[in-house]
């Protein structure tokens, strides 16, 4: 957890109104049943009113219609769940520490362009013709193929595969084991045998998308498989060749 913040600071962060001691220190976040006196929780639905009255949380983020007699310091907002998420981000440690520099075991082909502040973990491989934007982090054992474009401030976790010609936007997160740009599954039957159809396209992932662990996205047959801006895809999802996932979609 991060350093202590006062209830007043948290209220200002989310544009809420404090009801109670705005100087009360908060050291972290928790759910209603597990929160302690120096933690903050949230109450967003009437079905949880009993828990909200019994919680030991030092403060609660509540909605505009929540009761005023809950017996806890309150930050009143229009959308308590969203506000609590914003507060929780203050106390959340980084998912993994930033990678500093280029690890000596990384293999980077000639002609690869690495932007300022790029971090490459142990045994990363990047093939020729690829560009990696400023501040992007690529975790241990990841492979990036030929002529790939990766934007800035991306986080590519360990053991990710990014196939040739893939185009990755800015601030994209690829979780461990994700496969982007693998061969699409395409065959024709000829003379009683399966004949492989070449998959000549690529994968495009737009800004702020997040791809879950061990998810696979096949490249298009002729053009692109497209993941739109801000899309969120859960773990163990398979996106077939030529699919289009719209902006801000969620797939679980």
Catalytic residues: 241
Which one, of 173, 228, 222, lies nearest residue 239 by Cα? 228
Q: Which CA distances in Å does 169 have to 85, 152, 174, 202, 219? A: 25, 7, 11, 14, 16
Structure tokens at 216: 């696979």
| Residue 40, strand partner residues | 29, 59
- Is 203 in a helix, a strand, or coil? strand
Whether the Cβ atoms of residue 61 and residue 41 lie closer than 8 Å to each other: yes
Helix (H) or strand (E) holding 223: none
On the 0-12 / 13-18 / 19+ scale of CB atoms within 10 A, 15 is exposed
CA dihedral 20, 26, 28, 31 (to 10 degrees): -20
The total number of residues written for the chain in this structure: 252
Residue with tokens 């509540």: 62
Which one, of 124, 121, 123, lies nearest residue 96 by Cα? 121
Residue with tokens 């800035």: 152
Helix (H) or strand (E) holding 173: strand 173-174
């Amino acid at each position: 957890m991060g350093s202590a913040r006062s209830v007043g600071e948290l209220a200002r962060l989310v544009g809420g109104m404090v009801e109670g001691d705005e100087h009360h220190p908060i050291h972290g976040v928790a759910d209603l049943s597990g929160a302690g006196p120096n933690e903050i929780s949230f109450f967003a639905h009437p079905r949880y009113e009993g828990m909200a009255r019994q919680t030991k949380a030092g403060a609660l983020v509540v909605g505009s219609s929540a009761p005023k007699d809950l017996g806890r310091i309150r930050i009143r907002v229009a959308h308590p769940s969203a506000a609590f998420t914003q507060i929780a981000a203050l106390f959340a440690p980084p998912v993994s520490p930033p990678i500093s520099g280029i690890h000596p075991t990384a293999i980077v082909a000639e002609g690869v362009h690495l932007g300022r502040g790029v971090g490459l973990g142990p045994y990363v491989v990047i093939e020729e013709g690829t560009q990696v934007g400023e501040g992007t982090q690529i975790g241990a054992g990841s492979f990036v193929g030929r002529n790939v474009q990766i934007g800035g401030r991306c986080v590519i976790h360990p053991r990710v595969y990014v196939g040739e010609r893939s185009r990755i936007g800015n601030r994209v997160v690829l979780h461990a084991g994700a496969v982007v740009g693998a061969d699409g599954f395409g065959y024709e039957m000829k003379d009683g045998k399966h004949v492989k159809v070449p998959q000549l396209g690529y994968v495009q992932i737009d800004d702020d998308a997040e791809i879950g662990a061990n998810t696979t996205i096949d490249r298009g047959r002729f053009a692109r498989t497209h993941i739109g801006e801000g899309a969120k895809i859960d773990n163990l999802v398979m996106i077939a060749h030529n699919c289009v996932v719209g902006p801000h979609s969620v797939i679980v």
